[in-house]
C-alpha cells in the first residue's frame, strides 16, 4: 500500500478509524479526505488544512503516502502531452492527454507492459512487468489534472474524458481497473461519468460481461481483422476467444443504445481490402456499432506499414455506405511517440541503458 489514493470510501474510513477518528465523525472525515484527494487534488496530508494536525500526522504514520513522480513530460506540436510516470518501485508507465476544441481525453495505462503480443503494437513487444495498483491508475488522472491546473476552481474542466487505451490489457487487471474507474466516476470527486469513459480491450471475452454489470462504460473492441486466421496472428488472444465469441459478448453488452466502437488498425496489404470491409459490415450486422479506423502508427523495428490514405478512404466508404460511422482516427502526438500503440518506454530505456553501459 502506498497511500490513500485508490482506496474506496469504506477502506479510507477504516484507516481513519485506526488513526483515532471517533465513529460519529467518520463519515465527515472520510468525505473531507475524499474531497482533498479527488476534488481539490491535495499532494500531501499536510495540504489538507481542515483536518486536525494530529490526524494528519497519524495518517502519515499509518498510511504513508508515496506519490508516483513524473520523470519526463513532453508536449507535442499539436498540444498532446505525454507523461512518463515513475512508480515507487521505479517502474514506469505513460499517460497521454489529447486536447480537442470541446473536450480533452486522458489515455491511461493499466499495466506495465502487456501479457499479450499483438504483432503491430509496440507495447506488445515488451513483456508484462506487472499490473498497476488501483491507486497508480488513479494517480495518472491526478497528475494530468495537476499539470493542466484542472482541479476544482470554478473553471470548465480540461480533462473531460478517459480512455483506457494506454499500455496494457485492462481486462487482465480488471479488479484494479474497476476500482480506479469507480473512483474516477464518483460525483463527489473526479466526477467523470461512465458515458465519458471508454475501455478498450483486445477481447478478453469472459470479462466483457462483468464490465457491463459493474461499470457500463463505453466499450471499444480491438478487432483489426475479419477472419480468425488473420486475427490469430495480429491479436493472438483470438486463439483463446475467437471473433464469433467476441461479437456475441458485444451483442450482450448493455450499451444503452449507444454504439460499441470497433477499432481497426489499417495495415498496408494485410487487412485493408474492399472485400474485408464488406466482411466487416456483414459481421457487425444487427447491433449498433461504429468503426474507428486507426492509421497504423509505425515504431522503430516494425515490419508493418500504414495503408495509403486512398485505401483508408475506400475502406471507410464501404462501411459508411452500409450505415456505419467510421471515423478515421487522426494520429495525435506522433512527434513525441505518443500515438496509439507507440507506448513502450520501460524496455526501450533499459535497452538504451544497456547500450550506454556497454559503450
By C-beta, is 101 or 301 nearer to ligand SAH?
301
Binding characters for ligand SAH, 206-245, by CB under 6 A (x = yes): ----------------x-----------------------
Cα–Cα distance between 59 and 175 in angstroms, integer?
25
CB of 165 to ligand SAH, least distance (A): 4
CB of 122 to ligand SAH, least distance (A): 6
By C-beta, is 117 or 227 nearer to ligand SF4?
117
Q: Does 202 bind ligand SAH (CB under 6 A)?
A: yes
By C-beta, is 22 or 300 nearer to ligand SF4?
300
Question: Which of residues 150, 263, 272, 276 is near ligand SAH by CB under 6 A?
Answer: 263
CB of 173 to ligand SAH, least distance (A): 10
Binding characters for ligand SAH, 148-167, by CB under 6 A (x = yes): -----------------x--
Determine which one of 92, 94, 263, 276 is catalytic.
Answer: 94
Question: Which of residues 59, 105, 219, 265 is near ligand SAH by CB under 6 A?
Answer: 265
Cα–Cα distance between 110 and 167 in angstroms, integer?
6
Q: Does 201 bind ligand SAH (CB under 6 A)?
A: yes
By C-beta, is 121 or 306 nearer to ligand SF4?
121
Determine which one of 263, 320, 340, 353 is catalytic.
Answer: 340
14 is catalytic: no
By Cβ distance, which residue is nearest to ligand SF4? Answer: 124
By C-beta, is 58 or 293 nearer to ligand SF4?
293
Q: Does 297 bind ligand SAH (CB under 6 A)?
A: yes
For residue 176, what are the contacts with CB-CB under 8 A and spacing of at least 6? 6, 110, 131, 132, 133, 134, 137
94 is catalytic: yes
By C-beta, is 2 or 202 nearer to ligand SAH?
202
Q: Which does 174 bind (CB under 5 to 8 A by kind): ligand SF4, ligand SAH, none?
A: none
* Residues with active-site annotation: 94, 340
Binding residues for ligand SAH (CB under 6 A): 118, 120-122, 165, 169, 200-202, 222, 263, 265, 294, 296-297, 340-341
Amino acid at each position: 500500500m502506498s497511500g490513500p489514493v485508490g482506496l474506496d470510501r469504506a477502506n479510507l474510513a477504516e484507516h481513519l478509524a485506526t488513526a483515532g477518528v471517533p465513529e460519529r465523525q467518520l463519515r465527515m472525515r472520510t468525505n473531507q479526505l475524499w474531497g482533498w484527494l479527488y476534488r481539490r487534488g491535495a499532494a500531501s496530508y499536510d495540504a489538507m488544512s481542515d483536518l486536525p494536525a494530529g490526524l494528519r500526522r497519524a495518517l502519515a504514520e499509518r498510511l504513508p503516502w508515496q506519490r508516483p513522480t513524473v520523470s519526463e513530460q513532453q508536449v507535442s506540436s499539436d498540444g498532446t502531452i505525454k507523461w512518463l510516470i515513475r512508480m515507487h518501485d521505479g517502474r514506469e508507465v505513460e499517460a497521454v492527454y489529447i486536447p480537442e476544441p470541446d473536450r480533452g481525453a486522458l489515455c491511461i495505462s493499466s499495466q506495465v507492459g502487456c501479457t499479450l503480443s499483438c504483432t503491430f503494437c509496440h507495447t506488445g513487444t515488451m513483456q508484462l512487468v506487472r499490473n498497476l495498483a488501483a491507486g497508480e491508475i488513479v494517480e495518472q488522472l491526478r497528475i494530468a489534472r495537476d499539470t493542466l491546473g484542472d482541479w476544482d476552481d470554478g473553471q470548465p474542466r480540461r480533462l473531460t474524458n478517459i480512455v483506457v487505451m494506454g499500455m496494457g490489457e485492462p481486462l487482465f487487471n480488471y479488479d484494479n481497473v474497476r476500482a480506479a474507474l469507480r473512483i474516477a466516476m464518483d460525483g463527489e470527486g473526479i466526477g467523470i461519468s461512465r458515458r465519458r469513459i471508454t475501455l478498450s480491450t483486445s477481447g478478453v471475452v469472459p470479462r466483457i460481461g462483468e464490465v457491463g454489470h459493474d461499470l457500463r462504460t463505453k466499450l471499444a473492441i480491438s478487432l483489426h481483422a475479419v477472419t480468425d486466421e488473420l486475427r490469430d496472428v495480429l491479436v493472438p488472444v483470438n486463439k483463446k476467444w475467437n471473433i464469433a465469441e467476441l461479437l456475441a459478448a458485444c451483442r450482450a453488452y448493455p450499451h444503452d443504445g449507444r454504439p460499441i466502437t470497433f477499432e481497426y488498425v489499417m495495415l498496408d496489404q494485410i487487412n485493408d481490402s474492399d472485400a474485408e470491409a464488406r466482411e466487416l459490415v456483414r459481421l457487425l450486422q444487427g447491433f449498433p456499432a461504429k468503426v474507428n479506423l486507426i492509421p497504423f502508427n509505425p515504431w522503430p523495428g516494425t515490419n508493418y506499414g500504414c495503408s495509403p490514405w486512398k485505401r483508408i478512404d475506400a475502406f471507410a466508404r464501404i462501411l459508411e455506405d452500409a450505415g456505419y460511422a467510421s471515423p478515421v482516427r487522426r494520429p495525435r502526438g506522433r512527434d513525441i511517440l505518443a500515438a496509439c500503440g507507440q507506448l513502450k518506454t520501460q524496455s526501450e530505456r533499459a535497452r538504451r541503458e544497456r547500450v550506454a553501459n556497454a559503450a
